[in-house]
Amino acid sequence: MSDEIEEFIKNTLKIDETSNYRFRKIYGMTFVFEEIFLEINEKISSAEIKPVGIIFEENGEYLFSPLDEVDDIEPIIKEYVKNYFK
């Protein structure tokens, strides 16, 4: 029942949440940031940019060091490979 109510509210208020990752390379390390935007009725209601981790190369391997607990690193890896290993 609560899922139906949540879906009704999202559709009525046109709530949309988008998330993507940005990368910034400094001193041989790549810092990973997550951007989260919440839009209500096609206007930005809130925005958040938070550091997620650091990607660096050591002994020919790329390593990811999270700054906090990360639920799923797969989207980060896919986005990084798409942007830096074309």
What's the mean pLDDT in 61-86?
Answer: 86
CA angle 7, 51, 62 (to 5 degrees): 110
pLDDT of 1 above 70: no
Element (H, E) at 8: helix 2-13
Coil/strand/helix, residue 7: helix
Query: Confidence band (pLDDT; 50, 70, 90) for 21?
Result: very high
Is a pLDDT exceeding 80 seen at residue 81? yes
pTM for the predicted model, two decimal places: 0.77
Residue range 36-58: mean pLDDT, rounded:
89
Q: Tell me, what's the pLDDT at 23?
A: 94
